[in-house]
Amino acid sequence: KQTQLTAGSSSDGTEDSDFSADVEHAEAAEIVHRRSSTRLTRASLRLSRSSQDIKQGADRDETPPRTPTGNAPSSESDIEVSSPSNDLEDERLAKELSLKEAAAHDLSHRPKRRRFHESYNFNMKCPTPGCNSLGHLTGRHERHFSISGCPLYHNLSADECKVHASTRDKQAEERTLSHRQDENRHSTRNQAPTERQLRYKEKVTELRRKRNTGLNKEQKEKYMDHRQSHGTSREPLLENITSDYDLELFRKAQARASDDLEKLRLAGQVSEGSNMIKTIVFGRYELDTWYHSPYPEEYARLGRLYMCEFCLKYMKSQTILRRHMAKCVWKHPPGDEIYRKGNISVFEVDGKKNKIYCQNLCLLAKLFLDHKTLYYDVEPFLFYVMTEADNTGCHLVGYFSKEKNSFLNYNVSCILTMPQYMRQGYGKMLIDFSYLLSKVEEKVGSPERPLSDLGLISYRSYWKEVLLRYLNNFQGKEISIKEISQETAVNPVDIVSTLQSLQMLKYWKGKHLVLKRQDLIDDWKAKETKRGNSKTIDPTALKWTPPKGT
């Protein structure tokens, strides 16, 4: 029995084709079931094999010889390719193959297929309980991963969202058409409204007048049941709260905002459910974050936060930030200014008196610190905020916090230099200022452990500098670790570890000796001369008395 070899293009213009054959043999049918289809390109290439190989394969097996797709032979030309007519058939097939390949490279005529794997991460899920992540509030996307695009959260179905989207598109077309009709009118400053605009205004007034003044008993019970059943996992029922016209405007604004967020997510500017803030807009800087910070979920899932650099309030958009900056009266941190020299100031902020500011400061610091665990319990701490002043205000450079009553004499609980001010000497200034406060308190201080990687590097560099300066000025023959500690306010343990790292501490004849390595001192003096005294703390500029226990 002979069958026909048919090759046709699919309905969307692609080169996909299937070989169809009626196979009587049971084994051939089983193979057809397992390998349903193969592209024409593979079939045509394998048809060019020599007739001798195909005949040998046919002799070895009693079953009908297979075509490259695993089917039974589709025509006599598939086997008896040695005849002259079959040679012509091969030439025709090869010519068709070359044409197919040329058409395959030119994909301009093909309709653009949507590739979900490029724009969607199917491992992500919508955080709304019971949602399967299908549909989108805008009606224009197949999936969603956030509450802002969840139809179920907004008490809608995916089909309803699509219907609303088509309705909005029709209204937009009508509005565009009406605007075109009005373009012929002369544009003047005091232009009278058209008849269409007056009719629309009357219509809106009438719609708002029809608003129900209150909810009946059944509606109130329905609203209460919805709130008790879903809590904050669903949007409250909004019907009859305002007029239908205003509710429709609100729904349009929701859909538009959700569409904008989806575009940002597809562009990679919004994280997909990871609750990881990638960037923050802080003053005139846009900073990439390093670690996760426990901001509220509605802010964390945006991927980018906008912050006021003076009051540290965080916002969702550039528009909200611009409006806030027009009203914000803060130009420096709250609290008392205890140090000022040049344009550098330090403010002492009490976590009990300025709780919101200190919490925002801790959340900001966690974006750049790995080991920080303090976020909201800020009342037992004092925060010392360093700023750099210009004609617009005092800009945050860094800060450190310390406990009001530390039993282990920790003079620093957490310390941070903002990324835009790193590697400029401000970190050592903050550390030096913390030890200056310890000297005024007549205590020996040490930072709280564990230190971050950058914090450990900064502290070791500072301790090295302090010890080399002390040894350079020391003229006696015998030196004591205790005397160094009392003079510099550095903990003896930190002094010993620094001396060991510098290989300046030796054990000889039952005694520990401190070696005065002149080569290290000379290197330090050369660096000091090159660096200058621009980034140093002046003890005379400090106006501060130790706070009493609270």
Residue type present at position 371: H
Indicate the residue type of 443. K
Which residues lie closer than 8 Å to 530 by C-beta, 6 or more apart? Answer: none
Q: Are strands 336-341 and 344-350 parallel, antiparallel or unpaired?
A: antiparallel
Question: What are the structure tokens assigned to 22, written together?
Answer: 């009626």
Q: Decide if 448 is catalytic.
A: yes
Neighbours of 67 (CB within 10 A): 22
Rounded to whole angstroms, the Cα distance separating 382 from 408 reads 16
Identified catalytic residue from 160, 448, 465, 487: 448
Assigned token pair, 191: 């232009």
Q: By three-state DSSP, how is residue 72 classified?
A: coil
What six digits make up the tokens of 183?
């373009």
Q: For residue 51, which of 75, 86, 4 has the smallest C-alpha distance?
A: 86
Phi, psi of 302, deg, nearest 5: -70, -30
**CA distances to 17, 225, 235, 241 from 229, in Å:** 53, 6, 12, 20
Please report, for residues 307, 355, 357, 399, 550, the alpha-carbon distance to residue 547 in angstroms, rounded to integers and kept in the order given: 31, 18, 20, 18, 8
Number of neighbours of residue 491 by Cβ within 10 angstroms: 20
CA-wise closest residue to 234 among 147, 337, 344: 147
- Name the DSSP letter for residue 21: -
Of 273, 288, 6, nearest to 150 by C-alpha is 273
- Pick from 284, 288, 256: which is nearest to 271 by CA? 288
For residue 247, give the nearest of 135, 176, 155 by alpha carbon: 155
Burial of 150 (0-12, 13-18, 19+ CB in 10 A): buried
Reduced to 3 states (helix: H, G, I; strand: E, B; else coil), residue 387 is strand
The set of residues, in sequence order, having a beta carbon less than 8 Å from that of 218 and lying 6+ positions away, is: none
Strand order in the sheet with 304-307: 285-288, 279-282, 304-307, 314-315
Of all helices (H) and strands (E), which one includes residue 446?
A: strand 446-447
* 3-state SS class at 310: coil
Residues labelled as active-site residues: 448
